[in-house]
């Protein structure tokens, strides 16, 4: 029998909201494969809403700086151990110096940035008494860069074309709230679509539907799924009667790229993050 750890059960409970015994059984059947256990629980109707695996591992600050010409933007995350230190003036000043230097000197590699500030980081650790880590760095270039900061914990930068400042900010606010994973449906990887399609087809078939009817049901569910994870297909939070795509089309505008940072979230690979 697969080794089912307490930590694995706890994570599955956090993602699904299911009971301890249900989670343990699902992990045993999936041989400790967390994602497979979630898929099976969804398939058999044991859970409906799945929380994303965004484990919060630290406190800290997300910072943003945009060049004066609005064609280049930087976003950083500086971590510490407690929210008390995250609100410390020295910690905030260090974060500001890091991102200002990264912007002015066009530093786009995280290791280069860490090396440049290692002595200051070590000195601040000694002064404050908590570990401090320059966790990540993101950058965007484009015709127009916009941004939004939600407090110090969530930040978004967006690269656009033919877009007014107010609309860019509203779209950045939307991204902060709705957490899209891709720009449009064509950006969604084939394996992500295939996995969700299999789950939805199994759910429909288990309800007693014929294959033909099940496929029609799944088609509608897949359209909804793809729209929910892609920015263009999402309903605009400030005008739910329109999608982001419709709003952009009205202004002949386009979103080229975006980066969203949230303090402590699990890292994902991105071509725009070094």
CATH T-level topology, domain 1-51: Helicase, Ruva Protein; domain 3 (1.10.8)
Give the DSSP H or E segment for 74: strand 72-80
| More reliable by pLDDT, 75 or 265 | 75
160-209 tens-digit pLDDT:
999 888 999 999 999 999 999 999 999 999 999 999 998 888 888 887 88
Check residue 60 and give left, alpha or beta (phi > 0: left; psi -120 to 50: alpha): left
pLDDT digits over 133-173, tens only? 999 999 999 999 999 999 999 999 999 999 888 999 999 99
The backbone region for 202, taken as left when phi is positive above 0, alpha when psi lies in -120 to 50, beta otherwise, is alpha
The pLDDT assigned to 267 comes to 57
% of the chain beyond a pLDDT of 90: 64
pTM here is 0.77
The Cα-based distances of 244 to 37, 225, 232 in angstroms read: 34, 16, 5
Query: Tokens in use for 175?
Result: 């991204």
What is the pLDDT, as a whole number, of residue 53?
53
Per the document, the length of the chain is 274
CA angle, residues 257, 15, 205, in degrees to nearest 5: 90
User: Residue 91: which of 78, 103, 104 has the closest Cα?
Assistant: 78
Reduced to 3 states (helix: H, G, I; strand: E, B; else coil), residue 260 is strand
**H or E, element range at 76:** strand 72-80
Rounded distance between C-alpha atoms, residue 96 and residue 18, angstroms: 42
Taking the C-alpha atoms of 232, 238, 241 and 244 in order, what is their torsion angle to the nearest 10 degrees? Answer: -10
Judge whether 130 and 123 are in contact, CB under 8 Å: no
> Distance between CA 179 and CA 165 in Å, rounded?
21
89-104 and 118-128 are packed helices; what angle lies between their axes, rounded to 10 degrees?
Answer: 170
Residue 141 exposure: Cα atoms within 13 Å on the Cβ side: 5
pLDDT band per the 50, 70, 90 thresholds, residue 43 = confident
The CATH number of the structural domain formed by 59-184+235-262 is: 3.30.479.20
* Phi, psi for residue 253 in degrees, rounded to 5: -105, 170
Q: Where are the domains of the chain?
A: 1-51, 59-184+235-262
pLDDT for position 45: 74
The average pLDDT across 3-8 equals 86
Mean pLDDT of 123-137: 92
- Separation CA 265–CA 167 (nearest Å): 27
Distance between CA atoms of residues 198 and 206, nearest Å: 12
Res 49 pLDDT > 80: no
Least confident among 14-18, 45-49, 109-113, 131-135? 45-49
Of 123, 105, 102, 104, whose CA–CA distance to 114 is shortest? 102
């Amino acid at each position: 029998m697969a080794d089912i750890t307490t930590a694995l059960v706890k994570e599955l409970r956090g993602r699904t909201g299911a009971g301890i015994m249900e989670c343990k059984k699902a992990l045993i059947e999936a041989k400790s494969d967390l994602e497979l256990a979630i898929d099976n629980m969804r398939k058999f109707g044991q859970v409906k809403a799945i929380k994303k695996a965004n484990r919060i591992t630290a406190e800290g600050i997300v910072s943003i700086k945009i060049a004066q010409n609005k064609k280049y933007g930087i976003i950083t995350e500086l971590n510490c151990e407690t929210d008390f230190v995250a609100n410390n003036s020295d910690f905030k000043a260090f974060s500001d110096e890091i991102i200002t230097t990264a912007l002015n000197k066009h530093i786009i590699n995280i290791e280069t940035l860490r090396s440049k500030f290692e002595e200051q980081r070590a000195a601040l650790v000694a002064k404050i008494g908590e570990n401090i880590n320059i966790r990540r760095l993101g950058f965007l270039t484009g015709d127009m860069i916009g941004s939004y900061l939600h407090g110090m914990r969530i930040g978004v930068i967006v690269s656009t074309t033919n877009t007014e400042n107010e609309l860019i900010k509203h779209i950045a606010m939307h991204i902060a709230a709705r957490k899209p994973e891709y720009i449009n449906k064509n950006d969604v990887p084939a394996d992500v679509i295939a996995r969700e399609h299999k789950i939805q087809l199994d759910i429909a078939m288990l309800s007693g539907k014929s294959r033909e009817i099940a496929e029609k049901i799944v088609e509608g569910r897949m359209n909804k799924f793809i729209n929910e994870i892609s920015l263009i297909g999402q309903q605009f939070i400030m005008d739910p009667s329109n999608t982001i795509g419709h709003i952009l089309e009205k202004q002949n505008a386009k979103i080229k790229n975006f980066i969203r940072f949230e303090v402590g979230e699990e890292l994902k690979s991105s071509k725009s993050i070094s």
